[in-house]
């Protein structure tokens, strides 16, 4: 039975070690230097193209009809849109997005670092948000130069929603209009698209919408999802980046939304009226990931019009915001097999943070809450360990007597456990019950925007990053950059050593030797884990030490 105990420990450690190796943070490239940007002035500046008027969306969301037909554009023009939440740059080449910077989120924990950029088009990209009507996706898309109703738009906190409108005519004579409604106080952008046929012939084709992005980082930072996702027949479907590099993926059915996800952020396109269609995902040579939604084929009759409404979301993977958007976009926040544990933990952390305004303290309170919930179970386990210590002399005699007969020895030991009603596996129970919580918290720290760059105290300014006091120019074995003193990790190792000293020594010499090295193994393993996770384990160890001390004192 003690062999089973060792096996249980070894398997737990192997899982954690493999997890640590696979998802340890690698050296990240420094963010590119950003040229200082000149602040835009004014509310809206009309474009210089003659004959183009500012066109507000009429009731029902459709742009008001324009009485003038502007002359064709001859070169690319950029339209800058700025709100308190983001700064976006549109291009009239395909009416696509060139840049989308989140003004409340920085690349690093340093407040002077650049804003997070959500749009990274590759060299072979058709542009982020390519919308077209034709016989194939992308036809008459980014190659068309659109007219715009303004070349800049700045909204203040008290501004009313404003519209940026792009219009163009294809070589086939189809008139295209794309109107973006910008809000000053929220991330979602309303998008109205219309295709009208002023000719005297039918035009066959399909409406296709593509969003594409190149991952900002080539390396993973902890456990996070990077790739394409969609709501297919009411269920979340994820396609990882590495799978798209091997082959194109296609799915058909009822499509609720399509999205590109990377760590803490998401860009999504949500049709107002979801329906049947085809989703295709692929990776371009540049590394661009392309998600395309294609609607069923239709016929655009003479003098007819095809129109669609969408919601475009580029922002944080915030559970509250995504739920408010509806359309089940909150399903994009997926913690895998730990989801059933991770989401209640996240809600608990957010609840504590509402009153404390410190996620580090919230993690401490969450650890205390978990300890209280598992108190009866761990209490029984520690009592079992103490009772087992009393049986060590009897167990030693059995081992000596049957040292040449392993089968009989195990049979006698089992009889001894049964007589004294002791579970030999009880000693590993306190650690085993923490494993699901450990993995759930790991997933939260790697994918919840609330804990990204969340400070704790003193030098710990990011609970989602490893704990480092001081930064050294030289490498440290087993440590990923930045190199420094992992204070929390060392304290966690010390707490495990103290806890180990308080735990009854196993009768089996092999198990005793293994347990002796346990604090060292865990210290090395935790050296690259997020400081929030190390904090959880440290506080749990301290509470366990107090619980063990209380039990030992009472039994003595």
- The more confidently predicted of residues 137 and 390 is 390
Average pLDDT taken over every residue of the chain? 79
User: CA–CA separation, 240 vs 457, rounded Å?
Assistant: 36
Is 178:193 a contact under the CB 8 Å cutoff?
A: yes
pLDDT of residue 137: 52
User: CA–CA separation, 495 vs 541, rounded Å?
Assistant: 6
Query: Mutual orientation of helices 339-356 and 435-447 as an angle, nearest 10°?
Result: 70
Type and span of the H or E element at 9: helix 2-23
User: CA–CA separation, 335 vs 441, rounded Å?
Assistant: 10
Is 359:351 a contact under the CB 8 Å cutoff?
A: no
Report pLDDT digits (tens) over 38-49: 433 344 444 433
Confidence of residue 346 (pLDDT cuts 50, 70, 90): very high
Is 549:502 a contact under the CB 8 Å cutoff?
A: yes
Give the residue-averaged pLDDT of 167-178: 88
Confidence of residue 211 (pLDDT cuts 50, 70, 90): confident
Give the residue-averaged pLDDT of 153-161: 93
pLDDT of residue 139: 52
pLDDT of residue 23: 47
The residue among 244, 240, 208, 213 whose CA lies nearest residue 227 is: 240
Q: What is the DSSP secondary structure assignment for residue 99, as one 8-state letter?
A: E
Write down the residue that tokens 């506080």 correspond to: 539
pLDDT of residue 17: 52
Q: Does the structure show a pLDDT above 80 at 113?
A: yes
What distances in angstroms separate CA 420 from CA 32, 387, 414, 503, one per listed residue? 67, 9, 10, 19
Q: Does the structure show a pLDDT above 90 at 538?
A: yes
Percent of residues, the chain, with pLDDT higher than 70: 78
pLDDT of residue 529: 87
Is 255:275 a contact under the CB 8 Å cutoff?
A: yes
pLDDT of residue 205: 80
Q: Does the structure show a pLDDT above 70 at 8?
A: no
Q: Does the structure show a pLDDT above 60 at 82?
A: yes
Confidence of residue 57 (pLDDT cuts 50, 70, 90): very low
**Burial class for 513, CB neighbours closer than 10 Å (0-12, 13-18, 19+):** exposed
Give the residue-averaged pLDDT of 119-144: 68
The domain defined by 44-332 folds into Beta-galactosidase; Chain A, domain 5 (2.70.98)
Could you tell me where the DSSP H helices lie in 302-447? 319-325, 339-356, 359-373, 375-390, 392-401, 406-419, 429-432, 435-447
pLDDT of residue 106: 93
User: CA–CA separation, 99 vs 117, rounded Å?
Assistant: 7
Report pLDDT digits (tens) over 225-266: 788 999 999 999 988 877 777 778 889 999 999 999 888 899
pLDDT of residue 24: 46
Q: Say what the pTM is.
A: 0.78
Report pLDDT digits (tens) over 455-511: 998 889 999 888 898 888 888 888 888 888 999 999 999 998 888 877 766 555 666
User: CA–CA separation, 207 vs 248, rounded Å?
Assistant: 20
User: CA–CA separation, 335 vs 333, rounded Å?
Assistant: 7
pLDDT of residue 59: 43
- Domain boundaries along the sequence of the chain: 44-332, 342-374+433-555
pLDDT of residue 29: 42
Q: What is the DSSP secondary structure assignment for residue 333, as one 8-state letter?
A: -
- The more confidently predicted of residues 77 and 392 is 77
DSSP 124-153: T---BSEEEEESSTTTTSTTSBPEES-SEE
Torsion of CA 287, 291, 297, 298, to 10 degrees: -110
Report pLDDT digits (tens) over 355-401: 999 999 999 999 999 888 888 777 777 777 777 777 778 877 887 88
For the chain, how are helix, strand and coil distributed in percent, rounded to 5? 35, 25, 40
Interacting residues of 2 by C-beta distance below 8 A, sequence separation 6+: 413, 424, 506, 507, 508, 511
Q: Does the structure show a pLDDT above 70 at 335?
A: yes
Confidence of residue 37 (pLDDT cuts 50, 70, 90): very low
User: CA–CA separation, 391 vs 416, rounded Å?
Assistant: 9
And the tokens for 441?
Answer: 């918290």
Q: Does the structure show a pLDDT above 60 at 411?
A: yes
């Amino acid at each position: 039975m003690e062999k089973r105990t060792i096996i249980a420990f070894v398997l737990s450690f192997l899982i954690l070690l493999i997890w640590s190796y696979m998802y340890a943070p690698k050296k990240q490239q420094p963010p590119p230097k950003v040229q200082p940007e000149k602040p835009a002035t004014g509310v809206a500046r009309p474009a210089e193209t003659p004959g183009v008027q500012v066109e507000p969306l009429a009731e029902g969301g459709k742009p008001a009809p324009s009485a003038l037909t502007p002359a064709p554009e001859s070169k690319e023009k950029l339209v800058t849109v700025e709100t308190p939440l983001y700064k976006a740059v549109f291009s009239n080449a395909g009416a696509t997005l060139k840049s989308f910077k989140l003004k409340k989120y920085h690349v690093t924990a340093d407040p002077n670092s650049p804003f997070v950029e959500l749009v990274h088009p590759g060299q072979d990209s058709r542009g982020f948000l390519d919308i077209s009507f034709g016989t194939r996706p992308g036809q008459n898309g980014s190659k068309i130069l659109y007219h715009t109703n303004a070349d800049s738009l700045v909204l203040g906190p008290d501004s009313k929603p404003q519209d940026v409108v792009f219009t163009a005519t294809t070589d086939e004579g189809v008139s295209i209009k794309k109107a973006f409604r910008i809000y000053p106080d929220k991330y979602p952008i309303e998008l109205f698209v219309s295709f009208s046929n002023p000719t005297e012939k039918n035009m066959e084709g399909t409406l296709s919408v593509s969003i594409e992005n190149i991952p900002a980082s080539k390396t993973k930072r902890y456990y996070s999802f990077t790739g394409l996702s969609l709501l297919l027949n009411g269920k979340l479907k994820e396609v990882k980046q590495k799978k798209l590099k091997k082959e194109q993926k296609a799915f058909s059915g009822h499509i609720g939304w399509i999205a590109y996800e990377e760590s803490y952020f998401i860009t999504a396109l949500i049709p107002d009226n979801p329906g049947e269609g085809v989703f295709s995902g692929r990776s371009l040579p540049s590394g661009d990931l392309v998600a395309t939604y294609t609607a069923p084929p239709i016929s655009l009759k003479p003098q007819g019009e095809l129109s669609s409404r969408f919601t475009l979301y580029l922002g944080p993977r915030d559970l509250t915001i995504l739920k408010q958007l509806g359309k089940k976009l909150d399903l994009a926040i997926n913690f895998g097999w730990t989801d059933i544990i991770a989401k209640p933990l996240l809600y608990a952390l957010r609840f504590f943070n509402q009153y404390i305004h410190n996620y580090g303290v919230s993690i401490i309170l969450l650890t205390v809450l978990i300890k209280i919930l598992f108190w009866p179970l761990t209490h029984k386990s520690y009592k079992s360990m103490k009772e087992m210590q009393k049986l060590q002399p009897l167990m030693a005699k059995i081992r000596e007597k049957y040292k040449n007969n392993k089968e009989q020895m195990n049979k006698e030991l089992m009889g001894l456990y049964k007589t004294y009603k002791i579970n030999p596996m009880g000693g590993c129970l306190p650690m085993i019950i923490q494993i699901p919580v450990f993995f759930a918290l790991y997933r939260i720290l790697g994918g919840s925007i609330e804990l990204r760059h969340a400070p704790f105290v003193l030098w710990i300014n990011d609970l989602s990053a490893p704990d480092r006091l001081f930064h050294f120019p030289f490498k440290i074995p087993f440590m990923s950059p930045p190199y420094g003193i992992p204070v929390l990790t060392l304290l966690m190792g010390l707490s495990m050593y103290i806890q180990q000293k308080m735990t009854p020594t196993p009768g089996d010499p092999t198990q005793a030797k293994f347990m002796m090295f346990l604090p060292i193994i865990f210290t090395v393993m935790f050296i690259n884990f997020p400081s929030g996770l190390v904090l959880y384990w440290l506080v749990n160890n301290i509470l366990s030490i107090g619980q063990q001390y209380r039990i030992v004192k009472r039994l003595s």
